[in-house]
Amino acid sequence: MREQWLKRWREGRIGFHLAQTHPALVRHWKALGVPSRAKVLVPLCGKSLDMRWLSEQAHPVLGVELAPEAIAQFLAQRSGDVSRYHQAGFDIARQGSVELWQGDFFHLHIRQVDEVGAFYDRASLIALPPATRKRYAFHLAQLVPPGAKGLLISLRRCDSDAGPPYSVSHEEIDALFTPNFRLEMLEESAPDERGFAESVWALERRGPLE
């Protein structure tokens, strides 16, 4: 999966990238009640403009991305000083209030995200094959503190297991996240021309005694 993802970016096969902020993020983020200035973790972030939008809402952003091409293209979208450093296996670039960590999301340690207070997944879960999604949901739960809120945007299609993007059923989302998160589906679109229906979920990390 790692090499497949890197190859996609090298070849420019990134049809999943949106050239604007995702409308569901704009519609639902403020209603989540994320504290002002809470740092937002964005796994498998690509070069998503959603990170710019979150930073414009006064949130510091920590994006994690495997492909160096994605980070370079994100930084090139705007002028502005970029500071660079290395930490525990990650090459990190900071532009404004957005930090981009180039490396494997599964190597991210809780000590490196101790300031994170929220999270956003627009195309992370659906980029992962079935065998990896359980590991992803568990790792995300380990990285965010109790009470942390986030938004998950997923896709499902009844007639295909191919991907990415992968189809993830509502039942699988429930099974993956309910053990560690309170979960509420906010909306689901009609299927598009490819047969994918997009669903939007609000999540909140459960406390240790829940």
User: Per the annotation, where are the binding residues for S-adenosyl-L-methionine?
Assistant: 9, 44, 65, 122
Distance CA 93, CA 83 (A): 6
How many CB atoms neighbour CB 128 within 10 A?
A: 23
Distance CA 52, CA 24 (A): 15
How many CB atoms neighbour CB 132 within 10 A?
A: 15
DSSP code string of 178-189: TTTEEEEEEEEP
For the beta sheet containing 181-188, the strands, ordered from the edge strand earlier in sequence to the opposite edge, are 83-87, 90-95, 98-102, 61-65, 39-42, 116-121, 149-156, 197-205, 181-188
Residues comprising the binding site? 9, 44, 65, 122
| DSSP letter assigned to residue 127 | G
Alpha carbon dihedral 209, 175, 138, 66, in 10-degree steps, equals -150
Tokens encoding 186:
């906010």
Tokens encoding 99:
């930090």
